[in-house]
Chain A
Amino acid sequence: MHIENLINEEPIVRFDNVGLRYGLGSEVLKDVTFALQTGSFHFLLGESGAGKSSLLKLIYLALRPSRGLISLFGNDIATTARGQLPALRRSVGVVFQEYRLLNHLSAFDNVALPLRVAGVKRSEVEKHVGELLTWVGLRDHMRARPPTLSGGQQQRVAIARAVISRPRLLLADEPTGNVDDTMAFRLVHLFEELNRLGTTIIIATHNHQLVERLGHGSLHLVKGRLSVTPGRVAIKHDMTSETSVSKPIKNLHNAGREPENEMSKPVLNTQKKLK
């Protein structure tokens, strides 16, 4: 990516004086203003109840702000036609706080959902979903329904669903909330790999230790007010690196060009990491 492109590029998410209140209550978010560059990696920090989930909901278009301006991929969402929202949403992958998997569908069908709603061909769906589920170590659980899976397995299904359509922006709401520290670091590494492939990442967490050790930028919410800390280290955007983790993700979008036996290859490193 050329430097001038980086500078000229529209921020992927921009908030201007955004305020949010639920019903007639007091404002949960107040005067929130920030802009995130494409390809950046941010933590969203704040105590429980600070408004992290609410802020993410505004980004993934589950809520409208009470005031202020939000723009996503350069589109002012207030003036975007309702019919255009699905297209925007397809570019945003979300790992919800409670996963929000559909319990009557198998792990496979849950992960396939974003492709199916986008009208992707059946054969493509089969290939990509199978590959991704294998990659997250759920090859033997494709037909299992979420209630029969462990918390960790459900989380992996949720992550797979969030990344299956290779979103430009990935949001994760406290993905490290229910897991131990080692697991938390592994998860963050996974998100870093995705980031390296070009996806902009925002992870809500209240785990300060994680943030300090990794040195990404952070958005800090205190009682609905936001302050932004730029990251100490810049992530290297190397679109050509073939790390063990990035390969299957890249495969998702190079479908058809990869050899047929790609899926039957020995289980990848990441799978062990995630388990």
Chain B
Amino acid sequence: MIRIRSDLPLDRDQLNRFLPWLIAFMVFLSVLAVAGMLVLHATASKWDRGVRGTMTVQIVPSNDNYRDEARLNDVLTILATSPEILRYDVLDNNELVRLLEPWIGAVAGSGELPLPKLIDVELRSTAMLSADALGERLTERVGGVSIDDHRVWLDRLVRLIETFEALAFLVLLFIILATVGTIIFTTRTGLAVHREAIEVLHLIGAHDLYIARQFARRALGLGLAGGIVGLFLAVPTIWALAHLAQTLDDRLLPNIQFGVLHWVIMAALPIVVSVVAMLTAKVTVMRSLERML
């Protein structure tokens, strides 16, 4: 590791040798936690954006094909005359079969099973039309129609993602606290080990701040060294995980690209951790020297 001339032989302390590796590990974990948070956040908002303002109208089939056709036309007329609606799309039967096949097998396409009509509806972004209100408007004139705005499903997913985000944040907080605790511990040990040299520095006329800076500078140096190692280990890990996620399911996890801002946030983590380490060392030294003469 880098050696800076220091008035205290801090770089020979056992604990200080182990510290950069610990910080590397901490930064590694925190970069992963932050990356996870960013991915989850982006996923949640993408889903939210994707699903908000869309509804699915379902027309339950009866035995009478002609009547069903008439009901569909009625519904489409109502949709066409509703000013809140930007676009609607009737799913054709082939597509419906494709969606159902994984669940109910070949019977879906046999024509023996009555299939419902599904209509994707997209609202104008300014529209304030609830599923219930649209449902009322339709069922007034047409029977056997139901509306789903995906709210329940979406709310559950968003709540799940928010829980994961909170967990990642807790992990980050825990990492910072663990780093602070470790620095306090190693600094106190250093103070005890170098008690004699510190007393000499005091007697020669050193201010507490001068002594604290020796510890702070060391903590910053070790923090940066460890932090950069941690970052360099974390980046390929994230790449690997992202690649793995994409091969698993490219529909559920939208293709998340980290933006420049995301990379900047992650690259800032070693600096944040190092500065936290530096300030912790400084405060720890200042506090304990206050008790000396």
The residues of A with any CB-CB pair to B shorter than 8 Å are 60-64, 82-83, 85-87, 89-90, 94, 100, 102, 104-105, 109, 113-114, 116-118, 161, 165
With an 8 A cutoff between CB atoms, is B197 at the interface? yes
With an 8 A cutoff between CB atoms, is B192 at the interface? no
Per-residue 0/1 for B174-209: is the Cβ within 8 Å of any A Cβ (1 yes, 0 no)?
A: 000000000000000000000011011111111100
B contacts with A: majority SS: helix
With an 8 A cutoff between CB atoms, is B293 at the interface? yes
B293 touches A114 (CB 8 A): no
With an 8 A cutoff between CB atoms, is B49 at the interface? no
A114 touches B5 (CB 8 A): no
Contacts of B201 in A (CB 8 A): 113, 117
The interface centre, meaning the residue of B196, B205, B207, B293 with most chain A CB atoms within 10 A of its CB, is B205
A42 to B220, CA, bound (A): 47
With an 8 A cutoff between CB atoms, is B9 at the interface? yes
Contacts of B5 in A (CB 8 A): 109
Per-residue 0/1 for B6-45: is the Cβ within 8 Å of any A Cβ (1 yes, 0 no)?
A: 0101001000000000000000000000000000000000
B7 touches A62 (CB 8 A): no
A20 to B197, CA, bound (A): 25
A117 touches B205 (CB 8 A): yes
Q: List 30 A-B contacts (CB under 8 A).
A: A60-B203, A61-B203, A62-B199, A62-B203, A62-B293, A64-B293, A82-B290, A83-B207, A86-B202, A86-B205, A86-B207, A87-B205, A89-B202, A89-B203, A89-B204, A90-B205, A94-B203, A100-B196, A100-B200, A102-B197, A102-B200, A104-B12, A109-B5, A109-B7, A113-B204, A116-B7, A117-B206, A117-B207, A117-B210, A165-B205
Contacts of B290 in A (CB 8 A): 82
A117 touches B199 (CB 8 A): no
- Nearest chain A CB to B215 CB, angstrom units: 15
Contacts of A116 in B (CB 8 A): 7
Q: How many residues of B contact A (CB 8 A)?
A: 18
Q: Closest chain A residue to B9 by CB distance? A: A104
Contacts of A118 in B (CB 8 A): 205
Q: Give the A-B contact count at a CB cut-off of 8 A.
A: 49
- Nearest chain A CB to B106 CB, angstrom units: 82
Contacts of A161 in B (CB 8 A): 204
A64 to B293, CA, bound (A): 8
A109 to B200, CA, bound (A): 14
Q: Closest chain B residue to A93 by CB distance? A: B204
- Nearest chain B CB to A179 CB, angstrom units: 22
Give the 4 A-B CB pairs with smallest separation, nearest first: A90-B205, A104-B9, A117-B206, A89-B205
Contacts of B202 in A (CB 8 A): 86, 89
A24 to B16, CA, bound (A): 38
A102 touches B7 (CB 8 A): yes
A73 to B12, CA, bound (A): 40
Contacts of A165 in B (CB 8 A): 205
Contact for A117 among B9, B12, B204, CB less than 8 A:
B204
A61 touches B293 (CB 8 A): yes
A89 to B208, CA, bound (A): 13
A117 to B207, CA, bound (A): 8
B205 touches A114 (CB 8 A): yes
A105 to B9, CA, bound (A): 8
Q: Closest chain A residue to B210 by CB distance? A: A117
Q: Closest chain B residue to A57 by CB distance? A: B203
- Nearest chain A CB to B286 CB, angstrom units: 12
- Nearest chain A CB to B197 CB, angstrom units: 5
- Nearest chain B CB to A100 CB, angstrom units: 5
A100 to B204, CA, bound (A): 11
- Nearest chain B CB to A222 CB, angstrom units: 27
Contacts of A90 in B (CB 8 A): 204-205
Seed contacts A89-B203, A94-B203, A118-B205; 20 additional CB < 8 Å A-B pairs: A61-B293, A62-B199, A63-B293, A83-B207, A86-B202, A86-B205, A86-B206, A87-B205, A90-B204, A100-B200, A102-B7, A104-B12, A109-B5, A113-B204, A114-B204, A114-B205, A116-B7, A117-B7, A117-B201, A117-B206
- Nearest chain B CB to A147 CB, angstrom units: 13
- Nearest chain A CB to B9 CB, angstrom units: 4
* Chain B positions 116-149 with a Cβ under 8 Å from a chain A Cβ: none
- Nearest chain B CB to A84 CB, angstrom units: 10
Contacts of A63 in B (CB 8 A): 293
Contacts of B197 in A (CB 8 A): 102
The interface centre, meaning the residue of B197, B201, B203, B293 with most chain A CB atoms within 10 A of its CB, is B203
A129 to B118, CA, bound (A): 90
Contacts of B293 in A (CB 8 A): 61-64, 85
Contacts of A89 in B (CB 8 A): 202-205
A85 to B199, CA, bound (A): 13
- Nearest chain A CB to B288 CB, angstrom units: 14
- Nearest chain A CB to B20 CB, angstrom units: 20
